[in-house]
């Protein structure tokens, strides 16, 4: 595979947590402006991969390049160009949403005019008007997720790394985020996000990568994965279960009812 024009490249990435394997000789490449979905069961390596791409985890072996930069050699430069939302964002909950975003904007080096305009626009888009002056500690999980997403895109990153970004969002906000990802892709922003919601993955992503036991199990468009699974007319859920070797839902329910 020619990776010279790729925005994100993980090459033979392995991460060990003692005797536990987080990533196992994993290689993946994502092109500029591509929206890539990461699918996999809990413990498959999705979060570990995303943390490795943003430099929060140091791989045991292998290399990672994001936007042409070696993540291990230039972690701060990578983070200046990347927006990242972890699965469970940690916010400064003693601040209001406006105060938090203002702080993030200052850290990112935005001018007063830039940060004021962008914060106001994001608050309107994600329905936080009237609540931006409340402390984050009183927010619901979905509202906290919105603030984390705002902080990730405030500086207009060239790449977005999102771990279950739609968790807790109401349908309207989830739709806004999906449309935003599409709009950013048209501007060349590369997005990689993990999700358990297969319908969203199929609707939003250009390509999908299924992980299992820290390895890439399958990769391609939704249609290519259907063909690989031998289920050309099936839903993505059936394809996922077939490729991962997961028992059918009916079998699991029957076992639970015994």
Q: Helices 141-153 & 112-125, crossing angle to 10 degrees?
A: 140
Please tell me the predicted confidence (pLDDT) of residue 258.
Answer: 54
Furthest-apart CA pair in the chain: how many Å? 63
116 domain residue, yes or no: no
In a domain, 173, yes or no: yes
**Is the pLDDT confidence value at 83 over 80?**
yes
Whole-number pLDDT of residue 257: 52
With respect to residue 71, please indicate whether it lies within any of the assigned structural domains: yes
Please, are residues 169 and 178 in contact by the beta-carbon 8 Å criterion?
no
pTM: 0.89
Q: What is the pLDDT, as a whole number, of residue 249?
A: 56
- The conformation of residue 135, written as its DSSP 8-state character, comes to B
Percent with pLDDT over 90 in the chain: 69
Question: What mean pLDDT, rounded, does the chain reach?
Answer: 90
Q: Decide if 117 is inside a domain.
A: no
Phi and psi (nearest 5°) for 249? Answer: -60, -40
Q: State how far the Cα of 228 lies from the Cα of 210, in Å rounded to an integer.
A: 12
Task: Give domain status of residue 101, yes or no.
Answer: no
Over residues 168-190, the mean pLDDT reads 89
pLDDT grade for 4, boundaries at 50, 70 and 90: low
Residue bearing tokens 């939003």: 204
Residue 74 has pLDDT above 50, yes or no: yes
Q: Is the per-residue pLDDT at 38 higher than 60?
A: yes
Domain assignment of residue 170, given as a range: 8-89+157-220
């Amino acid at each position: 595979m020619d990776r010279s024009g790729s925005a994100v490249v993980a090459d033979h990435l392995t991460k060990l947590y003692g005797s536990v394997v987080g990533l196992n000789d994993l290689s993946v490449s994502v092109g500029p402006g591509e929206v890539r979905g990461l699918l996999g069961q809990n413990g498959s390596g999705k979060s570990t991969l995303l943390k490795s791409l943003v430099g929060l985890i140091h791989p045991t072996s292998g290399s990672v390049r994001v936007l042409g930069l070696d993540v291990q050699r230039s972690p701060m430069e990578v983070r200046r160009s990347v927006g990242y939302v972890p699965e469970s964002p940690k916010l400064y909950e003693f601040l209001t949403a406006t105060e938090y975003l203002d702080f993030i904007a200052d850290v990112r080096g935005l001018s007063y005019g830039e940060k004021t305009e962008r914060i106001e626009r994001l608050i309107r888009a994600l329905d936080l008007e009237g609540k931006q002056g409340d402390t984050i500690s009183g927010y619901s999980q979905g509202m906290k997720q919105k603030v984390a997403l705002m902080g990730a895109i405030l500086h207009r990153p060239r790449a977005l790394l999102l771990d279950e970004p739609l968790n807790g969002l109401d349908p309207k906000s989830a739709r806004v985020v999906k449309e935003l990802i599409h709009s950013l892709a048209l501007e060349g922003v590369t997005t990689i996000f993990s999700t358990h919601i297969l319908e969203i993955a199929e609707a939003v992503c250009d390509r999908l990568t299924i992980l299992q036991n820290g390895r890439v199990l399958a990769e391609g468009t939704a249609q290519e994965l259907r063909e690989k699974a031998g289920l050309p007319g099936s839903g993505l859920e059936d394809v996922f279960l077939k490729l991962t070797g997961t028992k059918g839902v009916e079998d699991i329910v029957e076992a639970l009812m015994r």
